[in-house]
Amino acid sequence: MNLLAIGDVVSPAAVQHLSRRLSQVQDAYKIDFTVVNAENAGNANGLDPDEAQALLDAGADLLTGGNHTLRRRKLYPLLDSDPRLLRPANLSAHAPGVGYGIYRAGGDRVLVLNLIGRMFMDAADCPFDAADRVLAREQGRYDYAVVDFHAEATSEKIALARYLDGRVSAFFGTHTHVPTADEQILPGGTGYITDLGFTGVQDSVIGVRSEIIIDRFRTHLPARFEFAQGPVTAHGALFTLTPDGKCAAVQRVVF
Ligand SMILES: [Fe+2]
């Protein structure tokens, strides 16, 4: 089973890039299932229903979220009605939508769980306990388990991945927009990378026009964010999963 995970899609221009390129990449790597983190795909942070639909049309099997997913109330009905949209499972019990689902990839059942970190992030329930609860509840109902952990701190990502090592097939981090070079198979057989990086204009500060962020750091004055303009690059990773639920290979994918 070839699983493609694409890092945070930032801006409608990045959505258009995936609309143009994703299907070619899926063919080239013989991808069976594609997960796209889409929390920033909308026009100004968050996710619009239109961008969500465009990403699904582009070939994403599933869209995961993060700290910005609930920013747009007009997304709430879609979060409640379309199981292909996830938000982190360990948010408040009042949050719309769901944090995991079990999906078909050919003859296989893939459980995808979206979690959010607690280091340098807003309040959330314990992601370790949330993962335990979901895996216990769904035991026997899936062939592969995949985790998107949307978190700031590398240590928290590594810790949760090692806690789940051997119990999930693939574990990738999102949120920082900076790809890490630590793709690996953990001792228990889980494929891992700390952060996929982002899909958007790389000539920027994590997708935003550099001058705006530089000014904000220098002046501490509020400023309106604007997406950077220019060529878009997508960052992600390919996980090759074996029938025993383990990962045989992880490689970064850039296009
Ligand atoms: Fe985020």
DSSP 154-167: HHHHHHHHHHHBTT
Q: According to the model, what pLDDT value does residue 44 have?
A: 73
Q: Rg for the chain (alpha carbons), in Å?
A: 17
What pLDDT does residue 45 have?
76
The predicted model gives 14-37 an average pLDDT of 98
DSSP helix/strand/coil, 192: strand
The 10s digit of each residue's pLDDT in 73-114 is 999 999 999 999 999 999 999 999 999 999 999 999 999 999
Kindly state whether residue 215 falls inside one of the protein's structural domains: no
| Residue with the larger pLDDT of the pair 42 and 202 | 202
Using alpha carbons, list the distances in angstroms from residue 195 to 3, 184, 187, 255: 16, 12, 19, 16
Rounded distance from Cα 241 to ligand 1 centre (Å):
26
Kindly state whether residue 20 falls inside one of the protein's structural domains. yes
156 in a structural domain = yes
Average of per-residue pLDDT across 163-179: 98
CA distance 39 to 113: 15
Model confidence pLDDT, tens digit, residues 123-165: 999 999 999 999 999 999 999 999 999 999 999 999 999 999 9
Give the closest residue to 175 by CA, choosing from 28, 3, 31, 40.
40
- 243 CA → ligand 1 middle, Å: 32
User: Is pLDDT above 80 for 252?
Assistant: yes
CATH of the domain at 114: 3.60.21.10
The answer to whether residue 217 is domain-embedded is no
Q: How many folded domains does the chain comprise?
A: 1
175 catalytic, yes or no? no
Instruction: With respect to residue 224, please indicate whether it lies within any of the assigned structural domains.
Output: no
In the chain, count H helices and then E strands: 6, 13
Q: What is the pLDDT of residue 46?
A: 87
Give distance in angstroms: CA of 40 to centre of ligand 1. Answer: 7
- pLDDT 10s digits, 26-84: 999 999 999 999 999 988 778 999 999 999 999 999 999 999 999 999 999 999 999 99
Whether 102 is covered by a domain: the verdict is yes
- Domain boundaries, position 22: 2-199+234-254
